C-alpha cells in the first residue's frame, strides 16, 4: 500500500496523433515491448489508485480493445466533440462517483518514461502541502511548444499560458508545464465548469484550471522534476525513436547494475518485461523481446533475437532467432538456429548450426547438431539426429507428428515421413527415408547395396578432365599391380 493512495488516476489518450502519420493510434505505438499507453498504465498502477480511468476518442475501438488486453480493470471514458484536455478530464470525472473526494492524478498516454516513483512523489508533495493543485514542472533549454508556468512576485504559481497564447516575454520563461497534475478532486470539478474555449486553439484547456484556482485563493504547488525525459511526450516518429533509445539505455543500465554483463550496451536491446538472472552475459547485436525470461549464468549472442523465450540456468544461445521457445539448463543453441513456437529443448540438449525447429520437444541430452528441420516432433532423451535430417510433417493437406525414442542414433541425410515412430535404442542408416515405424533396437535402412558401373566416366564424358584423371589413376593402379606381381 502506498503512503498516499490517490482516489483516481485519469490518463488522457484521446488525441489523434496526426504528426505520427500512421494508421495506428499514437498511443498504441510501441517502445520497449509495450505500447505508449501501456507504459502510462503501468506507472499509474504502481501508485495503486482506487480508480483508473482512460479517456479515449480517436480510433476508440482499437484503443479500448488494447486496454482490455493490457489492463482489463481500467474504466473507459469517451470524450465528446468538445476539444481540449480540460474537456477530456471532465469526461474522465463523469465516470467516477459524483460524491468522490480526495486526490486525482492526471497523466498523459504518450509520456512513456514517466515512472510510478515520480507519481508517488507528486502525490506525496500534493498531500503534504495541502495544495488544491500540484503540477509537475521542468526547466528546458528549448521550451518551444510547452505551456509556461507563470509566477507572481513572491514566486507563487498563479497560472499557465500555452505557447500559442503567450507573449514574447512569457515565451522567454524556461519553466514549463509537463501536463502532469495532482488535484483536489472536488476543486477540479468546480474549476472546470469555469474554463472556456477563448484561446488560439478554441479548446477547453486543463491548464486554465490553475488561474481559476488561484483566483479562488487555492494553493498551487510546482513539483519540479529534473529528469526531463519523464516529461517528454511522443508526437512524431523521431520522438518515438529517441524516447525508445533512452528507455532502452535505462533498461540495459539497470540490468547491468543487477549483475548482468552487457558487452556492448549500444547494440543490445532489452524490452521492459524481460527478466534476467545474475551473471548473464549478453554479446553485441542481441535483442531480448517480449516477456523473455533468462536464468542465471546464461550466455546470449552475438547476433541473437529472442521473443517470449524461456531459458534456464547455464544455457548458451548464439546467432539465433527464436520465439515462444523453452531452452533447458545447460543446453546449447546455434550458431544460426531458428527456434519457432513450440520448441522445447531439454537439459544439456543441443540445437546446432543451421537447424530449424517448430513444435518440437527435444529431450534431455538429445542433439540435433547440424543442417536439419525438426517440425511437429518429439525426440527422446539422449538421441542424436544425424546431419541433414528432415522431419517431413506436411502431406499437403495436414500436419503429422513424428516420435523418435530414447538413445536413438539416426544416420545423416534421413527423412522421417510423418506420422512415424522410431523405438528406443534404434538406429537408421545414412540416407534412409523412414516411412514405417521402427521397432526398438532395430536398424532401419531404405537404400539398396552399392554397385559400380565400371568406366562410366570415360564412356559418357570422353575428353573431360574427369575422364583423364580416371584414366591416369587406372594406369597407376595397373603399374602397382604389375610391380607387386
Enumerate the active-site residues.
370
Tell me the CB-side half-sphere exposure of residue 111, using CA atoms within 13 A.
22
447 vs 214, 414, 429, 432, 451, CA distance in Å? 92, 11, 8, 7, 12
Which residues touch 169 (CB under 8 Å, ≥6 apart)?
Answer: none
Which grid coordinates are listed for 277?
A: 538472472
Q: Whole-angstrom Cα distance, residue 386 to residue 389?
A: 6
Per DSSP, the chain holds a count of helices (H) and strands (E) of 10, 35
Nearest alpha-carbon partner for 91 in 202, 200, 13: 13
Three-state SS annotation for 366-415: CEEEEEEEEEEEEECCCCECCCCCEEECECCCCECCEEECCCCECCCCCE
First to last CA, the chain: 99
Task: Supply 309's cell numbers.
Answer: 523465450
Pairing of strands 344-345, 275-276: unpaired
Query: Helix 116-129 crosses helix 36-45 at what angle (to 10 degrees)?
Result: 50
| Positive or negative: CA dihedral 119, 123, 124, 125 | positive
**C-alpha span between 217 and 135 (Å, rounded):** 16
Grid coordinates given for 267: 547494440
CA dihedral sign, ordered 392, 395, 396, 399: negative
C-alpha cell at 352: 546446432
* DSSP string computed for 16-77: --GGG--SS-GGG-EETTEEHHHHHHHHHHTT--SEEEEEE-TTHHHHHHHHHHH-TTPEEE
C-alpha cell at position 237: 516518429
Tell me the three cell numbers of residue 194.
Answer: 469555469
Amino acid at each position: 500500500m502506498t503512503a498516499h493512495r490517490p482516489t483516481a488516476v485519469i490518463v488522457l489518450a484521446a488525441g489523434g496523433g496526426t504528426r505520427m502519420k500512421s494508421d495506428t493510434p499514437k498511443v498504441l505505438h510501441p517502445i520497449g515491448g509495450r505500447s505508449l499507453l501501456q507504459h502510462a498504465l503501468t506507472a499509474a498502477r504502481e501508485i495503486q489508485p482506487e480508480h483508473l480511468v482512460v479517456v479515449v476518442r480517436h480510433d476508440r475501438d482499437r484503443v479500448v480493445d488494447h486496454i482490455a488486453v493490457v489492463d482489463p480493470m481500467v474504466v473507459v471514458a469517451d470524450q465528446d466533440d468538445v476539444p481540449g484536455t480540460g474537456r477530456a478530464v471532465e469526461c474522465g470525472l463523469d465516470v467516477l462517483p459524483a460524491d468522490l473526494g480526495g486526490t486525482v492524478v492526471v497523466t498523459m498516454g504518450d509520456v512513456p518514461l514517466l515512472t510510478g516513483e515520480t507519481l508517488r512523489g507528486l502525490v506525496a508533495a500534493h498531500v503534504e502541502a495541502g495544495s488544491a493543485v500540484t503540477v509537475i514542472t521542468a526547466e528546458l533549454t528549448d521550451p518551444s511548444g510547452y505551456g509556461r508556468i507563470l509566477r507572481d512576485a513572491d514566486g507563487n504559481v498563479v497560472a499557465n499560458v500555452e505557447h500559442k497564447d503567450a507573449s514574447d516575454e512569457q515565451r522567454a520563461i524556461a519553466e514549463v508545464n509537463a501536463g502532469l497534475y495532482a488535484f483536489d478532486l472536488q476543486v477540479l470539478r468546480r474549476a472546470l465548469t469555469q474554463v472556456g474555449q477563448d484561446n488560439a486553439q478554441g479548446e477547453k484547456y486543463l491548464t486554465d484550471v490553475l488561474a481559476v484556482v488561484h483566483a479562488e485563493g487555492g494553493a498551487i504547488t510546482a513539483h519540479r522534476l529534473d529528469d526531463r525525459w519523464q516529461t517528454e511526450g511522443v508526437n512524431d516518429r523521431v520522438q518515438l525513436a529517441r524516447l525508445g533509445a533512452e528507455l532502452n539505455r535505462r533498461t540495459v543500465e539497470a540490468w547491468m547494475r543487477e549483475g548482468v554483463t552487457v558487452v556492448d550496451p549500444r547494440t543490445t536491446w532489452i524490452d521492459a518485461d524481460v527478466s534476467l538472472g545474475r551473471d548473464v552475459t549478453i554479446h553485441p547485436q542481441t535483442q531480448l523481446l517480449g516477456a523473455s525470461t533468462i536464468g542465471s549464468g546464461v550466455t546470449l549472442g552475438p547476433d541473437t533475437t529472442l521473443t517470449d523465450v524461456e531459458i534456464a540456468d547455464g544455457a548458451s544461445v548464439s546467432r539465433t532467432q527464436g520465439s515462444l521457445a523453452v531452452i533447458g539448463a545447460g543446453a546449447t543453441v546455434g550458431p544460426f538456429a531458428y527456434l519457432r513456437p513450440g520448441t522445447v529443448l531439454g537439459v544439456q540438449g543441443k540445437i546446432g548450426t543451421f537447424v530449424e525447429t517448430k513444435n518440437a520437444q527435444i529431450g534431455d541430452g538429445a542433439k540435433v547438431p547440424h543442417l536439419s528441420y525438426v517440425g511437429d516432433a518429439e525426440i527422446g532423451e539422449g538421441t542424436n539426429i544425424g546431419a541433414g535430417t528432415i522431419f517431413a510433417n506436411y502431406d499437403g493437406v495436414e500436419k503429422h507428428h513424428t516420435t523418435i525414442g530414447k538413445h536413438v542414433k539416426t544416420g545423416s541425410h534421413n527423412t522421417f515421413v510423418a506420422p512415424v515412430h522410431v523405438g528406443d535404442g534404434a538406429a537408421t542408416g545414412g540416407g534412409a527415408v523412414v516411412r514405417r515405424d521402427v521397432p526398438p533396437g532395430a536398424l532401419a535402412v531404405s537404400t539398396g547395396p552399392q554397385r559400380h558401373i565400371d568406366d562410366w566416366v570415360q564412356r559418357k564424358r570422353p575428353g573431360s578432365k574427369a575422364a583423364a584423371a580416371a584414366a591416369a589413376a587406372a594406369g597407376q593402379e595397373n603399374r602397382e599391380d604389375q610391380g607387386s606381381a
